[in-house]
Amino acid sequence: MRFLIGTLILFLPFLVNQKPCLDYVPMTTLYGVDVSHYQHYIEWDTVAARRAVDFAFVTATEGHDYADSLFSRNWEELGRLGIRRGAYHFFRAYGCGEDQARNFLSTVKMQPGDLAPVLDIERNDDMPPEVMREEAAIWLKTVESTLGIKPIIYTSQNFFDHFLAGHFDDYPLWVARYSDEKPVLVNGKRWHIWQFANDGCIDGIPRQVDLNTFIGNAAQLEQFCWRPKQISVTMEPVIP
């Protein structure tokens, strides 16, 4: 209840006749952002100094050959500042899962302590759902076998309920639901990270940004981090 009250405080308009811009208010859980070239050049020193971001996810790749133009810069800056970082791949359902996995693996150079790779599945590109899931499974298995850690799946609550429920149940889950109400999935599967807003305002980030929460402590977040030659295990959810 205290978490939901705190979240509601964020929903305050910052300019008249403009979409409300959420301020980033640290609370009792771990908070993070996810960014791409859309946010332009981020002053990560300012972000780190003023807002104490606990973790950040960065767009790395999309499809079989696209790499985000600012991925390398964001990745290196986060590493320099010691902010817990993770990289994600935007999945295209019409593409070969193995080719997309190789695009991600060749772009992202993981370091010990980085968060597990993320597969962003949020559209089926007019492909049959079973084809989308088959190629996504290839991506997941290729990355997992290469790095030795289960990737995290990112999706929206609506997309999960319609296309992913009952599939990939042994993978950690990051769910987008822009609401003061926590995600509740149709099959009762528990999530691990909640993207609760897409219009946050943070000093040092030029444009509005996605806001996320991990309900747990630093030691629990550590379970989702990559170590060389580690044994892959099924993550237990940390939802209270």
DSSP character string of 65-122: TEE-TTHHHHHHHHHHHT-EEEEEEE--TTS-HHHHHHHHHHH----TTPBPPEEE--
Residue 31, beta-bridge partner list: 213
Alpha-carbon gap, residue 166 to 24, rounded angstroms: 34
pTM of the model: 0.84
Alpha-carbon gap, residue 45 to 35, rounded angstroms: 15
Nearest to 102 by CA among 134, 138, 133, 76: 138
Burial 214-238 (b: 16+ CB within 10 A, else e): bbbeeebbeebbbeeeeeeeebeeb
The pLDDT of residue 196 is: 96
Given pLDDT bands bounded at 50, 70 and 90, which one contains residue 230? low
Catalytic residue among 34, 54, 114, 120: 34
Exposed/middle/buried for residue 8 (C-beta within 10 Å: 0-12, 13-18, 19+): exposed
Range with the poorest average pLDDT among 89-103, 138-152, 207-221: 207-221
Extents of the domains making up the chain: 30-222
188-200 pLDDT, tens digit per residue, is 999 999 999 999 9
34 as an active site residue: the answer is yes
**H-helix or E-strand spanning residue 175:** strand 173-176
Residue 220, beta-bridge partner list: none
Alpha-carbon gap, residue 154 to 193, rounded angstroms: 9
Q: Summarize the confidence of residues 106-117 as an average pLDDT.
A: 97
- Percentage of the chain surpassing pLDDT 70? 82
Catalytic residue among 99, 122, 144, 180: 122
The pLDDT of residue 228 is: 85
Q: Summarize the confidence of residues 42-52 as an average pLDDT.
A: 89
122 as an active site residue: the answer is yes
Residue 3 has pLDDT above 90, yes or no: no
The pLDDT of residue 4 is: 43
**In sequence order, what are the residues at sequence separation of 6 or more whose Cβ sits closer than 8 angstroms to the Cβ of residue 189?**
160, 165, 169, 173
Nearest to 8 by CA among 203, 212, 22: 22
- Percentage of the chain surpassing pLDDT 90? 78
Query: Which CATH number, 3.10.180.10, 3.40.50.300, 3.40.50.2300, 3.20.20.80, labels domain 30-222?
Result: 3.20.20.80
